[in-house]
């Protein structure tokens, strides 16, 4: 499927997973401090390009390290403030970060693939039309999250096992930004 056929314009919204898409993921571990947070090469420039293509850009991230007691919500907010500030300094913009602090399979499970974070975003930003959104992630739960609300989906290739197909697969956020900027 060609991105050109999607019809992306400046009224669309972008949803990004964090670990493995924006920053280097720690397999089997957690980003618990700003010192642990390392941008993937090319991401800051990619988000700058994507900011020029999309009306709103959100980060949606599962962070069960909070429920496990490995970090606090304050730690996470500091990491997100750092991330957003670095992105802003390079000419990009994150509209808002949403996170699911609960353990997997909790009674009130906000975690992807459940659509709770997407619904929270739409409550705060009623102009969001999920049919005019792109979800970019590196795991099946990211892709299912997007599909569950009708978004276009983009998978970033990692060593994560794949059992759910995205609309397109790319090697990095930078590759997607370059493809999109040539299409629109």
94 touches 79 (CB < 8 A): no
Backbone angles phi, psi at 8, to 5 degrees: -60, 130
Determine the Cα–Cα distance for residues 54 and 140; give it in Å rounded to an integer. Answer: 24
101 touches 67 (CB < 8 A): yes
Within a 10 A sphere around the Cβ of 168, how many other Cβ atoms?
18
Determine the Cα–Cα distance for residues 22 and 32; give it in Å rounded to an integer. Answer: 15
18 touches 59 (CB < 8 A): yes
Angle 136-52-88 (CA atoms, 0-180°, nearest 5)? Answer: 85
Catalytic residues: 17, 19
Q: DSSP label at 169? A: E
Of 62, 61, 47, 63, give the one whose Cα is nearest residue 14: 47
């Amino acid at each position: 499927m060609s991105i050109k056929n999607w019809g992306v314009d400046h009224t669309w919204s972008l949803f990004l997973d964090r670990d493995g898409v924006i920053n280097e993921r720690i397999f089997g571990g957690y980003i618990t401090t700003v010192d642990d947070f390392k941008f993937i090469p090319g991401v800051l420039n990619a988000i700058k390009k994507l900011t020029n293509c999309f009306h709103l850009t959100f980060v949606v991230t599962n962070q069960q390290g909070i429920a496990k007691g490995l970090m606090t919500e304050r730690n996470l907010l500091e990491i997100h403030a750092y991330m957003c500030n670095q992105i802003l300094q390079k000419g990009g913009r994150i509209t808002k970060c949403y996170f699911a602090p609960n353990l997997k399979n909790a009674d009130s499970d906000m975690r992807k693939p459940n659509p709770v974070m997407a619904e929270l975003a739409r409550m705060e930003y009623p102009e969001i039309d999920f049919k005019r959104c792109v979800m970019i992630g590196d795991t099946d739960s990211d892709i299912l999250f997007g599909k569950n609300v009708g978004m276009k989906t983009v998978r970033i290739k990692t060593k994560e096992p794949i059992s759910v197909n995205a609309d397109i697969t790319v090697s990095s956020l930078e590759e997607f930004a370059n493809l999109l900027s040539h299409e629109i």
